[in-house]
Structure 1
Amino acid sequence: MTFGKRILLLMAIDSAIVSFSIFMSHFFLNPYSNVFDSKMIVASVSLLITHHLFSYFFGLYRRVWRYASTRELTGIVGVVTLSVISTAGVQLVTYQTTYERALIVTWMLHIILIGGVRFAWKYYKTYGLVTSYATFKDAKKAVGNAQANTRTLIIGAGSAGRMIARQIQENESKDVKLVGFADDDFTMRNLTVSGLPVYGTIKDLPEIVEKQRVNHIVIAMPSADKARIKEVVTIAKDVVRNVQILPMIEDIILGNLSVNQIRDVSIEDLLGREQVDLDMSSVSESLTNRTILVTGAGGSIGSEICRQVSKFEPAKIVLLGHGENSIYTIEMELRNLYKDRFQIDTEISDVQDRDKMFEVMAKHQPDVVYHAAAHKHVPLMERNPEEAIKNNVIGTRNVAEASDARGIGTFVMVSTDKAVNPTSVMGASKRMAEMIVQDMDKGSNTRFVAVRFGNVLGSRGSVIPLFKKQIARGGPVTVTHPEMIRYFMTIPEASRLVIQAGSLAKGGEIFVLDMGEPVKITDLAENLIRLSGFEVDEIGIEFTGMRPGEKMYEELLGKDEVHDQQVWPKIYVGKAVNLDIHKINTCIDEYQNLDTDSLRQHALRIANGKIENQELLVGSK
């Protein structure tokens, strides 16, 4: 039905209701008098005209009545009241008197009929003829007899839960049967919400699922904190395989997801920690209308940094990377999302190429450099330590010195918790890179900083993609040691930390995120198995033993770096450590003369502060 036809239909219905209301009021009060006298006709015409005028003015004809609420009812009362008062005024002017009793009866009938018609339509469209008359007992009986393929329970009977219920009810899908709600508020037990029963609290889930034969749960708690979401997901996954979740309030506000989108529960929901928020004003000041260069722009962290930076509309973003396919992928993604809102340039080059790094900096003159290019796979670097030195250490020095030479504003290096008391070549190489960056800051106009964080969920080479492949093959999932623990964070969160560090940088800092409690890899594997719809016994977990270079647990700050004060919520900065960079550079330059084993040991001695049994830290004993 077109908009014009819809308005005409509503006006016709309202005209009939108005005429009927004033006729019945006169009839009730004076059943034997002539109801078609001039006074009634004047009142009817006045009431009709003013009702339509006020209805149009207050948008009563533009409301979607299938979604009507108390706000719409308030609008109806207001329109009817104003039209009746206006009619009383017309009567007073025309006849020097008003017919109060008739107008009061007309007012009541008017509201009842106008509101009743609209809310009856809403109820019919939402629940249908059968459920609109169902009592709680009828609802339970209907649930018990239903043969739908998917029997859905909604956790959370608040506004979000009611919205999901309406969506499912209005779609009228034969494959989905809404069973009811579970809610933390125990006072709602045995009440009905949106025509559906609230069976109990979340602690009652096992009993509810068994009695109501639930095989699908939707968690509608968008404002709950991460810890509570983790708890609810764990309980739900213990009793039902198919669990979905409404987006978090943060994702809805940022526009990443719509409130109508239900997504599958992800491993991130089980971290149980709140994500760090950006200081939007300081970040915007450092990025908007600036030139930004990202090394390793095709990698997991580098590409996400590009996505996050692009939201602040820089003047230009330069995507630098060694792999042409990954750079092409992120370039096309940004061009499709942002069109011509800012310039996007690409540089296919290797950070180990010192001359090229100087050429790139001279060509683009970036304001901020995010250095994310690195080798990060621990076992591979143990077997190829020279590549870790070339890419992570020499590559960092090349980019840092090129940034210094061109007077770049801020240089932010992406580091890792494996750089603290390293036992692997990869960790050692990242620690040496941190040393170089900290030393570069001492005599440069460029602000050099490093950012440390733990394992990143879903990044290339991380355990999550490996576990998913193993589960897809039917198992087993391989874990090195049953007691191994790691800190985890999401890719977007890691990238936000890097960006926030750039805006907070004064020079020489190592920024660290408060990553909450570490997670046992075994628990992570078990949760991922359950999220994939299997039981742990079906897939199995196999312990393979710790690999060369691995640690049982990671640290975010060394004992000499600990600084208790936060510089931003959940962000700490480590204390600067004095270093003799000349000895470090001498050792780095000698790596080509060493065999694999000697180079590995040499790198670890440098990173841990000793060279040939001499302390590397200046002033230490």
Structure 2
Amino acid sequence: MARGSRSGGKLNTLAGSSVLITGGTGSLGKALIRELLDNHSVRRLVVFSRDELKQLEVRRMFDDDPRLRWFIGDIRDRKRLDRALHNVDYVVHAAALKQVDTAEYNPFEYVETNVRGSQNVIDACIDAGVKKVVALSTDKASSPINLYGATKLCADRMFISANHYAASYPTRFSVVRYGNVMGSRGSIVPIWKQLAAEGRSLPITDSRMTRFWITLPKAVDFVLDSFDMMTGGELYVPRIPSMRVVDLAEAIAPGAATHEIGIRPGEKLHEEMIALDDARRTLLMDTRYVVTPHLSGWGYTPPADAMQMPDGFSFQSHTNDQWLDVDQLRDLVTEEEMAGR
């Protein structure tokens, strides 16, 4: 398949290219590897991560596919990034420290990885002549109330602003933001299933809690589709449904007992992916929102077919206009389980 060809009716920007994924042995990284190898005809796929055991496990998972390259390294190490990015065309930046409570006890470690490490990725990509970079964000970066969210907000702004001083270079940067991914490592679903099988009560943080829902395959598609449409400076947010946590518990274990354990430090009752103050810069494009940059000195032009969101708009899980009921959640959980087998 030639570079820039179409796959499944979409422009396949990544075909024939060299792609690097930072943090590539996580749940999303593994799903990205599978999709890129199976459906995007990449020439070379570089996995950059810190854990040699995880790399060994993923190598075995993909039968040592000859298109895969493995780099042990930390995004805190600029020289190692320089080496790994040699002749790379596209980058997915997924590496981050992510545990909310751990961040409160180890704040500067999160700054070192999520902020300084992100700057290393930006600088190394520009110097290596990478074409496009998509950085992964989180709902916790919108109106952050914990240190993890604050570091991710910093990283988001750094990647968007990187387009300014990369203006005379070919490299362009965009960000994708979504909430918890169902089916990813650390998901509550398998924990609740195990507790229900043992006849134990399911712990629920707060019965009022709501969350956005996105499946792992949809998250992968959203990230990769962003390479096709980005020009640099966009913060993309998928237009996805919400769920009530109590409905998810009922879908997973019908009739199971539950008990509230209270909101943990730094946790929100409802998720937010686009803040109220960002409404004036938010556009709607079919199934995704585009938060445009505050400044666009590198020549960013908003998409012509996008619709401006009204003043007062925000994208929060409890005020969303799309919801999943218990039956729909049960079907999606079953679908995720079948896909993982």
User: TM-score scaled by structure 1?
Assistant: 0.44
> For residue 246 of structure 2, what is the aligned residue in structure 1?
522
Identical pairs, percent: 30
Q: Following TM superposition, where does structure 1 have runs of at least 4 consecutive aligned residues deviating by more than 3 angstroms?
A: 278-283, 563-567
Distance 1:312 1:353 in 2: 29
Distance 1:282 1:442 in 2: 29
Contact 1:561–1:577 (Cα < 8 Å) also in 2: no
> For residue 88 of structure 2, what is the aligned residue in structure 1?
366
Alignment CA distance shift 1:417-1:463 (3 Å): same
Alignment CA distance shift 1:475-1:384 (3 Å): farther
Contact 1:560–1:575 (Cα < 8 Å) also in 2: no
Match of 2:21 among 266, 290, 294: 294
Q: Deviations over 1:523-558 (max 9, x none)?
A: 11121113xxxx32xxx2110111000111111112
CA apart distance, 1:383: 2.5
Match of 1:320 among 40, 45, 48: 48
Contact 1:419–1:430 (Cα < 8 Å) also in 2: yes
CA apart distance, 1:465: 3.0
5 Å matches for 1:349-360? 349-360=73-84
5 Å matches for 1:491-530? 491-516=216-241, 518-530=242-254
The structure having more radius of gyration, on CA atoms, is 1
Alignment CA distance shift 1:526-1:575 (3 Å): same
3-state SS of the aligned residue for 1:548? coil
5 Å matches for 1:153-168? none
Aligned length: 286
Distance 2:277 2:217 in 1: 30
5 Å matches for 1:17-416? 280=8, 282-284=10-12, 286-310=13-37, 311-335=39-63, 339-340=65-66, 343-362=67-86, 365-416=87-138
> For residue 290 of structure 2, what is the aligned residue in structure 1?
573
Distance 1:279 1:453 in 2: 24
Contact 1:302–1:373 (Cα < 8 Å) also in 2: no
Distance 1:468 1:373 in 2: 29
Instruction: Give the partner amino acid of 1:457.
Output: M
Distance 1:492 1:327 in 2: 21
Q: Are 2:223 and 1:481 aligned?
A: no
Instruction: Give the partner amino acid of 2:137.
Output: S
3-state SS of the aligned residue for 1:428? helix
Distance 2:75 2:196 in 1: 36
Contact 2:15–2:42 (Cα < 8 Å) also in 1: yes
> For residue 183 of structure 1, what is the aligned residue in structure 2?
none
Contact 1:509–1:573 (Cα < 8 Å) also in 2: yes
Instruction: Give the partner amino acid of 2:80.
Output: K
Q: Deviations over 1:151-207 (max 9, x none)?
A: xxxxxxxxxxxxxxxxxxxxxxxxxxxxxxxxxxxxxxxxxxxxxxxxxxxxxxxxx
Alignment CA distance shift 1:553-1:402 (3 Å): same
3-state SS of the aligned residue for 1:287? coil
Alignment CA distance shift 1:475-1:283 (3 Å): farther
> For residue 339 of structure 2, what is the aligned residue in structure 1?
none
CA apart distance, 1:431: 0.7
Q: Deviations over 1:413-440 (max 9, x none)?
A: 0111111001111111111100110111
More helix by share: 1
More strand by share: 2
Alignment CA distance shift 1:281-1:316 (3 Å): farther
Distance 1:464 1:388 in 2: 27
Distance 1:327 1:555 in 2: 33
Instruction: Give the partner amino acid of 1:566.
Output: L
Distance 2:7 2:237 in 1: 16
Instruction: Give the partner amino acid of 1:514.
Output: R
CA apart distance, 1:566: 3.2
Alignment CA distance shift 1:412-1:280 (3 Å): farther
Distance 2:156 2:108 in 1: 18
Instruction: Give the partner amino acid of 2:54.
Output: S
Distance 1:403 1:280 in 2: 29
Alignment CA distance shift 1:467-1:393 (3 Å): farther
Compare relative contact order (CA 8 Å, sep 6+) and give the higher one, 1 or 2.
2
CA apart distance, 1:381: 1.9
What is the root-mean-square deviation in Å for CA atoms of aligned residues?
A: 2.0
CA apart distance, 1:376: 1.9
Distance 1:546 1:283 in 2: 43
CA apart distance, 1:331: 2.4
User: TM-score scaled by structure 2?
Assistant: 0.79
Q: Deviations over 1:57-116 (max 9, x none)?
A: xxxxxxxxxxxxxxxxxxxxxxxxxxxxxxxxxxxxxxxxxxxxxxxxxxxxxxxxxxxx
Contact 2:283–2:291 (Cα < 8 Å) also in 1: no
> For residue 40 of structure 1, what is the aligned residue in structure 2?
none
CA apart distance, 1:294: 0.6
Alignment CA distance shift 1:282-1:446 (3 Å): farther
Match of 2:179 among 430, 451, 454: 454
Distance 2:112 2:224 in 1: 26
3-state SS of the aligned residue for 1:577? coil
3-state SS of the aligned residue for 2:274? coil
Instruction: Give the partner amino acid of 1:345.
Output: R
Q: Deviations over 1:347-390 (max 9, x none)?
A: 0111111221122223xx21100011112222222222222212
Contact 2:23–2:94 (Cα < 8 Å) also in 1: yes
5 Å matches for 1:431-450? 431-444=153-166, 445-450=170-175
Q: Deviations over 1:315-343 (max 9, x none)?
A: 1001111112222222233336xx55xx2
> For residue 103 of structure 1, what is the aligned residue in structure 2?
none
Distance 2:62 2:8 in 1: 21
Q: Deviations over 1:441-465 (max 9, x none)?
A: 1121311000001110021223223
Match of 1:541 among 258, 261, 269: 258
Contact 2:7–2:40 (Cα < 8 Å) also in 1: no
Distance 1:280 1:432 in 2: 36
3-state SS of the aligned residue for 1:511? strand
Instruction: Give the partner amino acid of 1:293.
Output: L
CA apart distance, 1:502: 1.5
Distance 1:279 1:548 in 2: 44
